[in-house]
């Protein structure tokens, strides 16, 4: 004769797990709905559009195969100029931003008088509306503006920053560094404050001081935070749009034309939605490649313990 107690216990456990599963899915439902509506759905739709010639007026899409991609990668295509400008912009912003963030983070982690004020001043540009800040930078970089005036004090004639194809991208990079350095500094500062004080104290007892303490203890323990900042900074740099839209409109010529701005032009100025979607897919592939490469190489320099 089978005793009913064990069978009843098994049924009770199964029903309990089912109730927990239903409750879990119910709590996940709002997030999943947002994810499907605003991330996965548009991603699938964009990939589908990249293989079509889509007519916005009629709402009809004609299958085009890989012709949109073939047009992008054709020799002399504007796409290559946009890609090169994006890479140059990324190199010009990521390396200085992370370097300055580490420097300011270490500096503001010291017992300085008024360090809260310094942190606020450094972080303030990040919370400044990007469009308003870009308009202010237009005034700073315009001919006979403040930047030209400062250069004239040193006997140097201003190059016409935003009107010259040789300096327009540099002006965008400077404005971006001002905007985002404070944000990444706060991330680095949080990483520094997460380092256990007893670890650094033990290193000092063992004779590590100054640069040796920084190189052998602080930076290795800070490397996961630096990796996060590096990945986030690269993604943000490849997606630059607002500064270029306000300050240069992609010009002069195509000197500040980037991938996202080129996507905007194709889709919303020329109404070539298929080509614009193809640029978006290529951008996604490039970002995934860069991120995977950074994660792969991180095993050589990122340390999660000493």
> CA of 256: how far to CAs of 50, 89, 91, in Å?
24, 9, 14
Note whether 172 and 162 are within 8 A (CB): no
Residue 61 has pLDDT above 90, yes or no: no
Q: Give residue 107's pLDDT band: very low, low, confident or very high (50, 70, 90).
A: very high
pLDDT at 7: 56
- Greatest alpha-carbon pair distance for the chain in Å reads 103
Concatenate the DSSP letters of all residues of 268-305 into one string: IIS--HHHHHHHHHHHHHHHHHHHHHHHHHGGGT--S-
d(CA 303, CA 298): 9
pLDDT at 11: 54
10 vs 80, higher pLDDT: 80
Q: Give residue 58's pLDDT band: very low, low, confident or very high (50, 70, 90).
A: confident
Residue 1 has pLDDT above 70, yes or no: no
The string of pLDDT tens digits covering residues 156-198 is 888 889 999 999 999 999 999 999 999 999 999 999 999 888 8
Omega prior to 196 cis, within 30 of 0: no
pLDDT at 185: 96
Q: Give residue 49's pLDDT band: very low, low, confident or very high (50, 70, 90).
A: very high
Q: Give residue 9's pLDDT band: very low, low, confident or very high (50, 70, 90).
A: low
Q: Of all residues in the chain, what percent carry a pLDDT higher than 70?
A: 94
d(CA 209, CA 200): 9
Question: How many angstroms separate the first and last alpha carbons of the chain?
Answer: 61
137 vs 20, higher pLDDT: 137
Using the 8-state DSSP alphabet, how is residue 2 labeled? -
**β-strand partners of 52:** 63
pLDDT at 110: 87
Average pLDDT over residues 42-55: 90
pLDDT at 34: 92
**Mean pLDDT, the chain, as a whole number?**
89
Residue 243 has pLDDT above 80, yes or no: yes
pLDDT at 292: 94
The string of pLDDT tens digits covering residues 13-28 is 566 577 778 888 889 8
pLDDT at 20: 78
pLDDT at 206: 79
pLDDT at 222: 94
pLDDT at 157: 84
pLDDT at 4: 58
**For the whole model, what pTM was predicted?**
0.88
Structure tokens at 249: 């409109």
The alpha-carbon radius of gyration of the chain (Å, integer) is: 26
pLDDT at 6: 61
Residue for token digits 């920084």? 214
pLDDT at 159: 85
d(CA 114, CA 188): 19
Q: Of all residues in the chain, what percent carry a pLDDT higher than 90?
A: 59
pLDDT at 14: 63
Note whether 89 and 174 are within 8 A (CB): no
Note whether 83 and 77 are within 8 A (CB): no
Average pLDDT over residues 271-282: 93
d(CA 78, CA 73): 9
Question: Which homologous superfamily is 68-300 in?
Answer: MetI-like (1.10.3720.10)
């Amino acid at each position: 004769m089978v005793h009913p107690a064990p069978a009843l216990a098994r049924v009770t456990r199964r029903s309990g797990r089912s109730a927990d599963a239903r409750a879990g899915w119910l709590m996940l439902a709002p997030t999943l709905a947002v994810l499907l509506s605003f991330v996965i759905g548009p991603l699938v739709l964009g990939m589908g559009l990249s293989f079509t010639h889509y007519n916005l007026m009629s709402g009809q899409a004609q299958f085009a195969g890989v012709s949109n991609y073939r047009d992008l990668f054709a020799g002399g295509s504007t796409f290559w100029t946009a890609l090169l400008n994006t890479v140059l912009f990324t190199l010009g912003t990521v390396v200085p931003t992370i370097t300055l963030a580490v420097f300011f983070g270490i500096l503001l982690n010291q017992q300085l008088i008024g360090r809260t004020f310094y942190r606020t001043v450094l972080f303030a540009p990040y919370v400044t509306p990007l469009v308003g800040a870009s308009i202010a930078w237009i005034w700073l970089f315009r001919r006979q503006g403040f930047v030209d005036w400062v250069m004239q004090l040193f006997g140097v004639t201003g190059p016409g920053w935003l009107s010259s194809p040789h300096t327009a991208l540099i002006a965008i990079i400077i404005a971006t560094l001002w905007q985002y350095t404070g944000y990444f500094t706060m991330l680095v500062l949080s990483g520094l404050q997460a380092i256990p004080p007893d670890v650094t104290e033990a290193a000092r007892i063992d004779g590590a001081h100054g640069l040796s303490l920084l190189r052998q203890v602080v930076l290795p323990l800070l490397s996961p935070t630096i990796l996060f900042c590096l990945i986030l900074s690269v993604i943000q740099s490849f997606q630059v749009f607002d500064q270029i839209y306000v300050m240069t409109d992609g010009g002069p010529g195509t000197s500040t034309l980037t991938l996202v701005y080129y996507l905007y032009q194709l889709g919303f100025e020329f109404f070539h939605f298929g080509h614009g979607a193809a640029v978006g897919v290529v951008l996604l592939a490039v970002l995934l490649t860069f991120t995977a490469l950074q994660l792969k190489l991180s095993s050589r320099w990122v340390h999660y313990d000493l």
